[in-house]
């Protein structure tokens, strides 16, 4: 393994991610990925701290996407080594996920038009899913899991046209952090039912399928104490059991059966 890069080298290439020239950004990413491959255990937290630092406002949307990609690359390359730094990695990703108000960015940030960031969120959610599914997520603190749940909950409400990535992340959280997700299961189920109905109105079978799968996964992994909610799920799934698409019907039947068993 080579020598870990100096903070100055990393800082210089991260600054190039803000460049308006695509070739320069591409070159910077290649250099940064080569740096990631030679990071030692002592250098990983500093590198992640630099990755999550504030970017220039005028080009931050693209830079943030690239920084999130770097976080995912760190997880894939270093695997066991990243175990002590799960919280740091999550913070780096969250800090590059700038649209949500709970992050409490400065007032000047919110003057930036929201549409500039609209497309960023699913990429961040997918990266978070990769981290949650890693073997090392088990050491993530409950506070970190709750922070992710709050961000996902906010994203589902704010971005109804980009829900699949969020629902995928919820399923991963339910699988690995059922006790924490239990505190949010009612709200997640409400969101799932709303998204399911939106999918029906939009004639979007894929959205319906994702919503049904998320609801099913929540019932499978998380302890339910909300029997009225289960009754609503049963009623909704009974309607979807006669959908024109086979895969929607099959998913609805599984969710209907699971809800009946839980009830």
Q: For residue 117, what pLDDT is reported?
A: 39
Residues belonging to the chain: 263
Q: What angle do CA 222, 188, 173 make, to 5 degrees?
A: 50
In the block, residue with structure tokens 């709050």:
150
Q: What is the DSSP letter of 6?
A: P
Name which of 35-39, 123-127, 193-197 the model is least confident about: 123-127
pTM of the model: 0.69
Taking residues 175-197, what's their average pLDDT?
94
Query: Do 2 and 38 form a contact (C-beta atoms < 8 A)?
Result: yes
The two three-digit tokens of residue 38, written as one number: 């030679």
| Secondary structure of 214-247 in HEC code, one letter for each residue | HHHHHHHHCCCCCHHHHHHHHHHHHHHCCCCCHH
What's the CA gap between 217 and 255, in Å, rounded? 9
The pLDDT tens digits of the residues spanning 5-54 come to 888 899 999 888 888 888 999 999 999 999 999 998 888 888 888 887 75
Please name which of 166, 244, 234 lies closest in space to residue 204, comparing C-alpha atoms: 244
Q: For residue 207, what pLDDT is reported?
A: 94
Taking residues 61-65, what's their average pLDDT?
69
Q: For residue 85, what pLDDT is reported?
A: 76
Taking residues 200-217, what's their average pLDDT?
95
Q: For residue 188, what pLDDT is reported?
A: 94
In the block, residue with structure tokens 């969120």:
121
Q: For residue 95, what pLDDT is reported?
A: 64
The pLDDT tens digits of the residues spanning 218-230 come to 999 998 776 788 9
What's the CA gap between 17 and 232, in Å, rounded? 48
Q: What is the number of other CB atoms lying within 10 angstroms of the CB of residue 88?
A: 21
Residue 235 has pLDDT above 80, yes or no: yes
Residue 71 has pLDDT above 70, yes or no: yes
Residue 116 has pLDDT above 50, yes or no: no
What's the CA gap between 97 and 119, in Å, rounded? 11
Q: For residue 109, what pLDDT is reported?
A: 34
pLDDT band at 119 (very low <50, low <70, confident <90, very high): very low
Q: Would you state the torsion angle of the CA atoms of residues 93, 99, 103, 106, taken in this order, to the nearest 10 degrees?
A: 120
Please name which of 235, 261, 240 lies closest in space to residue 252, comparing C-alpha atoms: 240
Q: For residue 94, what pLDDT is reported?
A: 66
b/e code 128-146 from CB counts within 10 Å (16+ = b): bbbbbebebbeebeeebbe
């Amino acid at each position: 393994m080579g020598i870990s890069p100096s903070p100055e080298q990393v800082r210089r290439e991260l600054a190039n991610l803000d460049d308006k020239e695509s070739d320069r950004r591409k070159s910077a990413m290649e250099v940064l990925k080569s740096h990631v491959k030679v990071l030692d255990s002592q250098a990983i937290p500093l590198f992640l701290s630099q990755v999550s630092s504030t970017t220039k406002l005028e080009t931050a949307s693209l830079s943030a996407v690239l920084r999130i990609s770097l976080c995912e690359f760190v997880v894939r390359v270093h695997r066991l080594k990243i175990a002590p730094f799960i919280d740091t990695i999550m913070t780096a990703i969250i800090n590059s996920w700038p649209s949500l108000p709970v992050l409490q960015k400065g007032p000047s940030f919110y003057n930036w038009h929201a549409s500039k960031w609209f497309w960023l969120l699913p990429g961040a959610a997918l990266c978070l899913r990769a981290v949650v599914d890693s073997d090392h997520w088990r050491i993530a603190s409950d506070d970190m899991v709750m922070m992710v749940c709050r961000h996902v909950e906010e994203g589902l409400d704010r971005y109804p046209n980009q829900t699949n990535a969020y629902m995928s992340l919820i399923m991963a959280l339910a699988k690995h952090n059922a006790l924490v997700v239990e505190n949010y299961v009612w709200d997640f189920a409400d969101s799932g039912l709303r998204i399911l109905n939106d999918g029906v109105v939009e004639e979007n079978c894929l959205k319906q399928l994702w919503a049904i799968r998320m609801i099913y996964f929540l019932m499978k992994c998380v302890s339910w104490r909300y029997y009225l909610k289960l009754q609503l799920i049963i009623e909704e799934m009974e309607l979807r059991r006669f959908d024109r698409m086979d895969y929607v019907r099959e998913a609805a039947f599984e969710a209907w059966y699971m809800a009946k068993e839980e009830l």
